[in-house]
Each structure stands twice: as structure tokens, then as C-alpha cells.
Structure 1
């Protein structure tokens, strides 16, 4: 009798676990991708070594049509940035 009740409890428990697992299974949330940022070395920045990212961003926005810019690299060059696909 003890074996029968243990089997019954186990069967009910496993059935409930399967029911819960299938009931809570949902389609995954859509993945929203952040836009990538593309970097291109500035063609118009002629200040030599880029020390001021604000100045670099102004050159990139006004003269090259980019969204912004920043100084980077060991040699400190001005890189213009925009969202790309």
C-alpha cells in the first residue's frame, strides 16, 4: 500500500510540474537591437593631435555631416560618429 501511494504522489507531482512548465512557456520577448555606432576618421580635423573631443564633434557635425565625434587612439585622432545599420 505504501508503494502505491508513493507512486501516486510521484505521478501527480510530475504531472503538475509538466502542466506548470507548459503553461508558463511563452514566446520570447522581441529583441530590440541598439543601433550600432560607426566611426570614421575625420577628413577635416586639422588640429594635429586631437585633445578636445568637443572640438572634434563640432567639426564632424558641421563640416562632415556626422552626428558627433570624439578623440581616440594612441596618436589621438578625431573620429566622427553616426548610427549605422
Structure 2
């Protein structure tokens, strides 16, 4: 794989992770808002789902940050 191909692949991966984060966070917003209208049990289940989605988004943010650091180390010129 050439340097140019690696660079493009890493950028595409970073973009995909960023998009994934937005989707996951959006999936957490609606249930959180709907939980206010449900019974205690239903609301608790929704809160648990929202927490899982928030954790997933945080994990993806960590992956994205690590990939950005790796990208910078490989492709950003030293100053």
C-alpha cells in the first residue's frame, strides 16, 4: 500500500468514525426524551439504552482520537 493510499484510507476511516459517532449520539437523544413519558420500568430501560449508546459514542471518540494521533505522527511534518 502506498503512502497516498494509506493516507486516504486513514482519512476515510476517521470520517466513518465521526459519522458513526453522530449516528450513535442521535440514537441516544430520542429515547432519552421519550423516557419522560413512560412508566418507571420503561423509563429505566430507556435510560440503560441511552447509557450504552453514550458509552459507544465515547469509545468511538477514543478510537477517533487515537487514529488522529497516529495520522499526525505519520503524515504531519515536524515543526
Bin of the TM-score, shorter chain as denominator length: 0.3 to 0.5
Greater Cα radius of gyration, structure 1 or 2: 1
Higher strand residue share: 1
Higher helix residue share: 2
Q: Which has the higher contact order (CA 8 A, sep 6+)?
A: 2
**TM-score of the two chains, using structure 2 as the length reference:** 0.34
